[in-house]
């Protein structure tokens, strides 16, 4: 190895070690999880139908934005950014619904917003 290549390798290793030594915040973990899930879910095999393929890749993209907005609401402190995150959730959910309807897919059953607690279920009777 040349001296320059050794220096670059050493710098890369030191940078990686320094990054690994910094504990990751809950927010950073939530964002990493959202990004990883989004990227994995966007990799779908082509069906040959451009419309279906577009929707199959875009829904995870929009869901990723929702997941990131939820993390902002949960961990952020700026009220304006939290409001923007709430708007992102609503807009992205509407776009997902519109894409599903455009290709003739049914909408999933209604569910609470991701920042709302699930409704209590009535107790079952024997």
How is the chain split into domains, by residue range?
A: 21-41+48-102
Q: Is the pLDDT of residue 105 over 80?
A: yes
- Give DSSP secondary structure letters for the chain: --HHHHHHHHHHHHHHHHHHHSPPPHHHHHHHHHHHHHHHHH-----S-HHHHHHHHHHHHHHHHHHHHHHHHHH---HHHHHHHHHHHHHHHHHHHHHHHHTTPPPPPP---TTSPPPPPPPP--
> Is pTM, for the whole model, over 0.75?
no
Per-residue pLDDT, averaged over 76-86, amounts to 96
User: pLDDT tier at 72 (50, 70, 90 boundaries)?
Assistant: very high
User: pLDDT tier at 112 (50, 70, 90 boundaries)?
Assistant: confident
Percent of the chain topping pLDDT 70 = 73
């Amino acid at each position: 190895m040349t001296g320059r290549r050794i220096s670059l390798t050493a710098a890369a290793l030191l940078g990686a070690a320094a990054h690994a030594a910094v504990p990751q915040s809950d927010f950073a973990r939530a964002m990493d999880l959202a990004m990883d899930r989004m990227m994995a879910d966007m990799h779908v095999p082509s069906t040959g139908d451009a419309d279906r393929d577009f929707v199959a890749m875009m829904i995870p993209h929009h869901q990723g934005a929702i997941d990131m907005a939820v993390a902002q609401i949960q961990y952020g402190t700026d009220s304006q950014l939290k409001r923007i995150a709430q708007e992102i959730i609503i807009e992205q959910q509407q776009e997902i619904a519109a894409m599903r309807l455009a290709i003739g897919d049914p909408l999933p059953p209604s569910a609470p917003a991701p920042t709302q607690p699930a409704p209590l279920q009535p107790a079952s009777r024997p």
